[in-house]
Structure 1
Amino acid sequence: MSSENGSGGGAAGDGPEQLALIRESVRKAKAPKAKPRTWRGAALAEHLPVARVVVDKGVLHLDRYFDYAVPRELDEQAQPGVRVRVRFGAGSRNVREGRREGGGLIDGFLVERVADSDYGGPLAAIAQVVSPEPVLDEELLGLARAVADRYAGSLADVLQLAIPPRHARAEGRPSPPAPAPPSAPEAGSWRRYARGPEFVAALAAGGAPRAVWTALPGPLWAEEIARAVRATLASGRGALVVVPAGRPAARVDAALRALLGEGQHALLTADAGPERRYREWLAVRRGAVRAVVGTRAAMFAPVRNLGLVVVWDDGDASHSDDNAPFPHVREVLELRASRDRCAFLLGSWGCTVEAAQLVESGWAVPVVADREQVRAAAPLVRTVGDGDLARDEAARAARLPSLAWQIARDGLKHGPVLVQVPRRGYVPRLACERCREPARCRHCAGPLEARGAGALVCGWCGRDEAAWHCPECGGFRLRAQVVGARRTAEELGRAFPAVPVRTSGREQVLDTVGGAPALVVSTPGAEPVAEGGYAAALLLDGWAMLGRPDLRAGEDALRRWIGAAALVRDQGAGGTVVVVAEPTLRPVQALVRWDPVGHAVRELSERAELGFPPVSRMASVTGTPEALTELLAQAELPSDAEILGPVPVPATDPGRPRRPGDAPPGEHWERALVRVPPGSGAALARALKTAQAARMARGVAAQQAVRVRIDPADIG
């Protein structure tokens, strides 16, 4: 029995099957092991060895991802969202370009890791992981792509606007843990508005209301925004507030500190400096804070679990970015509200046509005060027209009408007086001499310009107008509008020699002034806040703003007037505003009645009849005549697209900064406007982007470049 049990045949229990398994294991152990995947002798990551990278090249024909190999030593650091450096350009080998190694290093973002590439040849490897800090997540990437497509731009350009430059010292500092959500606030001064308390309650309950809010004049707007933010935080969600400049950002920042305490929000402005701004941005990205207030670039802030987006004063030009692809804060926050299904609040003392359209379309509801509340909060508004100026000896002598002089003298007995003076340099446009209705083209309703010996030419479509007459009053004579103010501070100093005169403008912008009697001369948008409010305000040379050659001249003039008048005490406290402009004009009447919403609604109705934005979508295409013709011929524009022009654009004067839309010095450029009806805006942007990319891929010379801008702020 013992011999049968295998004392000479191996271990007990070994049968034929077991012996076969042993032999196979020995064979595998002796066989040479498979070599890991390598690139030029360097081992690649075993898991997901291919990285998809968006490179920092803002050109349209390279607006896609590029595949790179992930070396094993970078496997742990090369995670989605980090900054990397890769070889790109002449000689760079990757799945999309197929060029040999040797290109220069360029920055980029690692978007994702995949198992394989659809390119059959060898891939260039990631040269460096700049930082292991992930700064680009899927949500921000999707938003950036949506913005790039809407504005016919590149993803890389949008990411440059969305993600601030890296600062290594800021990355090394850990962010504190996120604070506990605050309790829901009371409605407070939101009770002054119809639907105001309901809006705050909906935010606290986790809802996503969309509102266009016409704020009452006075200083409470910042506190009201802070209450909406606190209500959102109380629901466990985040909030984002974007304002046009650093001064209003500081006011909302102070209101949030008072209502929330320290550590509950981040302030993202350029004034903070690169290190602090990046540190605050990282705190938001890491989830350490859930509320943000900032200027334009903050529209992309990566707020976790976003519950509310707020834009204040959307008509301010600062909300439109000066860098490609020129996104506007209002449009980006509308995209975020739709993508993230969060609440949306557009607030201002005035009302833009775009805001009125949001209400008319049903996308948002109005949050406004009743007429009794408006009358109680607003100052008294009085007007001085051209006829009064012509008969006024004081106005001819010192550019200060007698009524304005009297109001200023009375106001100085009780506090400071604000004097708003339009900036210099507005180009006059033509209007009817009798009724002041702007002169427009009969074919496309563009502004008429005087060229040569009295010839009239449309600034949009370029057609000559030989027999113009005013459609409102039948007049045949034209006049140029008044251009800016001169030496206002000096003249006021002579008129009121015993009163201090302070100025706020381009050279020095004042944030606040005291409550003592003083004359404060300011350009539009630079008005400081007075302690206790201004006793009076003088809005001089109204024609300088109403006469701008711009579709938004009336809307913008009213917005600037209301912005200054909102800093004046209410009429119950004696606050008075004098506006020097023709009393019969629509913007002036809207100011007198303090009815910016009514003005915006009527403007929207007229633009709908004429096919103007925002009812239509427009693209401005500017370049040399040859390049412009080539692009428009190649672009597969929507069938309902209408091309206006081209017309010549002014060249930049030597020694002066180049303005948007100007041609380079010494060059002849033209501009065409492409207009499409509602629903075709995306197709228009896609067609122009595709045509631009095709031209760039062929390597067109820099002097043959064409500038494309979707929904330009200034179309003349």
Structure 2
Amino acid sequence: MARVVVDVPLAHLDRPFDYAVPDEMADEVRAGCRVRVRFAGQLVDGFVLELADSSEHGGKLTPLAKVVSPEPVLTPQVVALARAVAERWGGTVTDVLRLAVPPRRVAAEKRPPAEPPPPPPPPDPAGFARYPTGPALLTAVAEGRPARAVWTALPGEDWPARLVELCQAALSGGRGALVVTPDGRDLDRLAAAAEARLPQGSVVVLRADAAPDARYRRFLDAVRGTARVVLGTRAAVFAPVADLGLVAVWDDGDDLHAEPRAPYAHARDVLVHRAHLASCAAVVAATARTAEAQLLVESGWAHELVADRATLRAAAPRVQALGADAELARDPAARTARLPSLAHRVARQALADGAPVLVQVPRAGYAPGLACDRCRAPARCAVCSGPLGVAATPGPGGSRVPACRWCARPAATFDCPYCHGTKLRASVVGAARTAEELGRAFAGAAVRVSGRGSGVLPSVPPGPALVVATPGAEPVAEGGYGAALLLDSWALLGRADLRAGEETLRRWMNAAALVRPASAGGQVVVAADAAHPVVQALVRWDPGWLAARELADRRELGFPPATRMAALSGTAPALAEFLAAARLPADADLLGPVPEPSRPGQEGERERYLVRVPRAEGSALAHALAEVQGVRSAKKATEHVRVQLDPLDLV
């Protein structure tokens, strides 16, 4: 008898089913293999979870229809993780397994498995010597102890090399390692460091943009135990690493770590669960620190891995913000200027010294936001009411005609519905226009743009140049940047978002970390009020202080991660039916409803509720919501209600 999880996306069928194993398939069927079974009159795919001698089903079992492949691609450890993730986020095991196991490619399975390379020696602890507890962490990982750390990397740190040293420590102890990065650029840097330091054949890279054959071949190397180190992006959190000894995530505050498909799990939280299930070491690493990482420290689950202040001062650039009396006396308009005189002087000095200058701009494009020149009302499309903007690429003849950012219809003429003004002004300036303005302000200096639309540069050569980049697209400069200018702070700090301050500091610190130390002339200018707490955290280079402050504020106000929240989205009748059937915990707070922001292509009006419970009631909330989804699925409800636990966006 085979216990099979069938690939059926219905919440009320989220359980394994028993099937008989025909004699002719007995030699091929094994736990973890792919099969085809008859379910509700149709042939569907499935995975064999286990083989058993008896079944609780009293009737006759339906036989397996076909063994798709005898290759065991689903390990018991991944099954246990999938169940834990489905339970925590109120999803189904089938949804998780779709993320965990890539589609089958026959050619890859025909390759014979290779022998894993011998373990390397333990890494040199010198790389972690600048952190007081760094060498002890390496030793714990090598010895297979479940050490947990929240690592705040120093500015200018070669973080790919440090993470690879942790992987080497795990390998030296005969155990595997898993490291997850937010995007392909970070993964490329990590893979290059691993290739240079780890034994050949011991590492595979799982990335979403890889060819299907290559991705499945690398997946098989991991599940067969040939490669003991897996590096990847978000979906790699479920990689079947043999004898797992270390899990690590880099830059856990990046929203790319949040899965946009059900059950909407976050890579950091999945790895924390995996470390608990596998009793292995875990490292949450970043230049900045999230409130969730701070909660891991304050709860005692992890310890801080930080450098002392003297080491930090030697590695950090000099950070200056607006508001100093001397600067205001010299430039009274500095508070409102987009590029104050301080930024001009710092940039000119760095260029004169032969160093590149990084200019971070929050928005891509040329003028992504337009407004009426007379009354300043946001300019909207006359057809679909979408926002008007100017693209980064000029049209025929170099013209820049405003167009709708939703339906792409050009707006050659404009008539403001409020004041009937006909002229437009840029309310938001993008990277392309910033590069154009800087090219005029710094005549003769080379200007490069890195970001969406213009292409992301992985690196820039040394030498004087202005590099305009959007957050997350900052290229690495050989030898470091001479200066960094952080512009348009209002666009980051002024967002109506619970994580606005935390996210702003993360973006600023990731950019500032690419600048040379102050001893080598490195300077950072942030165009923001020096009295703002986020600016103070940057000036003092103390992300832990801001994370602790954020967490304390959220505890007082009852916001995540101090509590657990679920977002319910749907039409008003569907939400009313859903909530009437839900058996929410007694301590649950129901917030809403509020109109859900319209999206391109969305039909009809939708609403949103937030359900808040204490952290201790999080499992009960997830169970209650999954139960309602199962009931609605069994009743074949016509309108879907989207359920998302721990959403990043609460607005």
Task: Give the alignment's TM-score, normalised by structure 2.
Answer: 0.87
Closer, same or farther: CA 163–386 of 1 in aligned 2, 3 Å: farther
The one-letter amino acid of 1:511's match is: P
Preserved CA contact (<8 Å) 1:483 1:543: no
Preserved CA contact (<8 Å) 1:634 1:691: yes
Partner of 1:634: 581
Partner of 2:437: 491
| CA–CA separation in structure 2 for the residues paired with 1:333 and 1:226 | 17
The one-letter amino acid of 2:68's match is: V
Closer, same or farther: CA 390–327 of 1 in aligned 2, 3 Å: farther
Partner of 1:54: 5
Which stretch shows the higher mean deviation, 556-565 or 75-84? Answer: 75-84
Partner of 1:651: 598
Partner of 1:668: 605
Aligned length: 589
1:705 and 2:640 aligned: yes
Partner of 2:534: 587
1:232 is aligned, of 164, 170, 191, to: 170
Superposition pairs of residues 502-521 of structure 1, within 5 angstroms: 502-507=448-453, 508-521=455-468
Cα distance, 1:497 vs structure 2: 2.6
Closer, same or farther: CA 490–427 of 1 in aligned 2, 3 Å: closer
The one-letter amino acid of 2:314's match is: A
**1:651-710 deviations in Å (ceiling 9; x for gaps):** 1145xxxxxxxxxx2311111100001200000000000011101110111xx2100000
Partner of 1:176, secondary structure, is coil
1:537 and 2:484 aligned: yes
**1:199-226 deviations in Å (ceiling 9; x for gaps):** 1122222222111111101141111111
Partner of 2:409: none
Preserved CA contact (<8 Å) 1:485 1:541: no
| CA–CA separation in structure 2 for the residues paired with 1:390 and 1:270 | 52
**1:619-647 deviations in Å (ceiling 9; x for gaps):** 00111111111111111110001001111
Partner of 1:422: 362
| CA–CA separation in structure 2 for the residues paired with 1:679 and 1:484 | 45
Cα distance, 1:549 vs structure 2: 1.3
Structure 1: 5+ residue runs without aligned partners?
1-49, 93-102, 429-481, 655-664
1:112 is aligned, of 50, 64, 68, to: 50
1:552 and 2:552 aligned: no
Preserved CA contact (<8 Å) 2:144 2:281: no
| CA–CA separation in structure 1 for the residues paired with 2:368 and 2:63 | 54
Partner of 1:364: 302
Superposition pairs of residues 276-425 of structure 1, within 5 angstroms: 276-384=214-322, 399-413=338-352, 414-423=354-363
The one-letter amino acid of 1:409's match is: R
Partner of 2:573, secondary structure, is helix
Preserved CA contact (<8 Å) 1:389 1:401: no
Partner of 1:715: 650
Which stretch shows the higher mean deviation, 399-408 or 321-330? Answer: 399-408
Structure 2: 5+ residue runs without aligned partners?
371-426
**1:533-578 deviations in Å (ceiling 9; x for gaps):** 1111111001101111110000000000000000011111101111
1:71 and 2:10 aligned: no
**1:503-522 deviations in Å (ceiling 9; x for gaps):** 11112111111012111111
Which stretch shows the higher mean deviation, 121-130 or 644-653? Answer: 121-130
Cα distance, 1:392 vs structure 2: 5.5
The one-letter amino acid of 2:628's match is: A
The one-letter amino acid of 1:678's match is: R
Preserved CA contact (<8 Å) 2:317 2:515: yes
Partner of 1:64, secondary structure, is coil
| CA–CA separation in structure 1 for the residues paired with 2:283 and 2:482 | 31
Preserved CA contact (<8 Å) 2:33 2:70: yes
Cα distance, 1:198 vs structure 2: 1.1
Partner of 2:4, secondary structure, is strand
Greater relative contact order structure (CA < 8 Å, 6+ sep): 2
Preserved CA contact (<8 Å) 1:398 1:491: no
Identical-residue share of aligned pairs (%): 55
Partner of 2:190: 252
Cα distance, 1:386 vs structure 2: 12
Closer, same or farther: CA 145–407 of 1 in aligned 2, 3 Å: same
| CA–CA separation in structure 1 for the residues paired with 2:216 and 2:504 | 36
| CA–CA separation in structure 2 for the residues paired with 1:391 and 1:379 | 23
Instruction: Please say which structure displays the higher CA radius of gyration.
Output: 1
After superposition, the CA RMSD in angstroms is 2.2
Moved over 3 A (4+): 115-124, 385-399, 424-428, 482-486
Partner of 1:100: none
The one-letter amino acid of 1:60's match is: A
**1:41-69 deviations in Å (ceiling 9; x for gaps):** xxxxxxxxx32211112221110112223
**1:120-161 deviations in Å (ceiling 9; x for gaps):** 444433222111111112111111000000000000000001
Cα distance, 1:395 vs structure 2: 7.3
The one-letter amino acid of 1:587's match is: V
Superposition pairs of residues 587-606 of structure 1, within 5 angstroms: 587-606=534-553
The one-letter amino acid of 1:645's match is: G
Which stretch shows the higher mean deviation, 105-114 or 557-566? Answer: 105-114
